[in-house]
Amino acid sequence: MTRIVGWIVAAGLALPSVAIAAPPVEGPRAAADADEPDPSPVGTLSQQGTRQGVLELGIGVLLTGAGAGLIGFGTQQFIRAREHVEYCRGAAPIIDESGPTGIDPCMFDPPPLGFASAGLSWGFSLPLLVGAGMLFARGARIAGDARRYQRTKLSLSPWWQRRGAGASVVMRF
């Protein structure tokens, strides 16, 4: 069984990469994709101008604030953890015959926990900032679509069915 899997992997690696790649897109569709990033008709993304992208932009701002707050908190935790390491290196253990009289901060709060807290804060801030960027991009596309739709005051749409044909005229003012 393992020999068969090995032969399949070897054959897959030996195949030319051209067989794996998709064929190039040519023709009028490729030219339309190069000129216009969103080929959908004007008004479909903004739902005929009713959506302005405010929700996406607002949530993007909130996610950016949360991500920046986590970066700041992680930086503060990292600085505190470095100071705590220096304190624990210089602190001499106090031996008393009457037993322990307090909580040792180096044993109760080990320094690696501060570094773990900083790493988790920075780690959770990255997906928040990526999500915020994606929401900003979507909000900008929706707002642009709404602006293009508002500029379109008169539109003529031909239609046809099995029993007839016609045209619809839409005027906005």
Give the C-alpha separation, 85 to 104, whole Å. Answer: 14
DSSP codes of every residue in 68-84: HHHHHHHHHHHHHHHHH
Question: Domain limits at 123?
Answer: 47-93+102-155
- In single-letter form, the type of residue at position 72 comes to G
Give the C-alpha separation, 135 to 132, whole Å. Answer: 5
Q: What is the pTM of this model?
A: 0.59
Give 29-42 pLDDT, tens digit per residue.
555 555 555 467 77
Write out the H or E segment, with its range, that includes residue 6: helix 2-14
Residue 29, both tokens: 């569709």
Give the C-alpha separation, 149 to 42, whole Å. Answer: 6
Domains held by the chain: number: 1
Give 107-138 pLDDT, tens digit per residue.
788 888 999 999 999 999 999 999 999 999 99
Residue 9, both tokens: 């992997």
Give the C-alpha separation, 138 to 130, whole Å. Answer: 13
Using a pLDDT cut of 70, give the percent of the chain over it: 73
CA distances from 52 to 13, 42, 98, 143 (A): 49, 13, 72, 5
- Is 173 inside a domain boundary? no
- Is 5 inside a domain boundary? no
Residue 25, both tokens: 């897109």
To the nearest whole number, what is the mean pLDDT of the chain? 79
- Is 6 inside a domain boundary? no
pLDDT of residue 139: 92
- Is 30 inside a domain boundary? no
- In single-letter form, the type of residue at position 153 comes to K
User: 16 — phi, psi (to 5°)?
Assistant: -70, 150
- Is 16 inside a domain boundary? no
Asked if 169 and 154 touch (Cβ cutoff 8 Å), the reply is yes
- Is 108 inside a domain boundary? yes
- Is 18 inside a domain boundary? no
pLDDT of residue 88: 85
- Is 134 inside a domain boundary? yes
